[in-house]
Structure 1
């Protein structure tokens, strides 16, 4: 009798676990108010690190990419 109970309890426990696993899903997307994003606006890197100078930021990124390129760093 106990083995029959164990056989029946396993699928029941599995069904309860699977049915409750979807209950913890939280909303992933922020709300929209009047067609606009209602969350915190994230500043861009050029705004915080380069005082809103896009040209300087782009030059720094390009220089960094060139320094990481082994073909440009090596002197053949």
Structure 2
């Protein structure tokens, strides 16, 4: 039991040594990575009104008050 404990102590201490730095790269105070496109830019050819219409239409169909017949 004591031998197992002596083996596990160095492994526990070295477990955090392999952590990779996760901060973005900055060049001259600005982010140097690729800009992410918004959903309307990729799927709707930069037509924001069409994207908003699709989102509002989808939200209307998820509303139980509109779907149920009273």
TM-score tier (shorter): 0.7 to 0.9
TM-score, structure 2 as length reference: 0.84
TM-score, structure 1 as length reference: 0.78
Give unpaired runs (5+ residues) of structure 1.
1-6
> Hey, what does 1:13 align to over in structure 2?
7
> Hey, what does 1:68 align to over in structure 2?
62
User: Which structure is larger by alpha-carbon Rg, 1 or 2?
Assistant: 1
Question: What stretches of structure 1 move > 6 A for 4+ residues in a row?
Answer: none
The CA RMSD over aligned residues, in Å, is 1.3
Aligned residues: 70
SS for the counterpart of 1:65 is helix
Deviations 1:33-63 (A, max 9, x none): 1121111211111001111121221111111
Give unpaired runs (5+ residues) of structure 2.
none
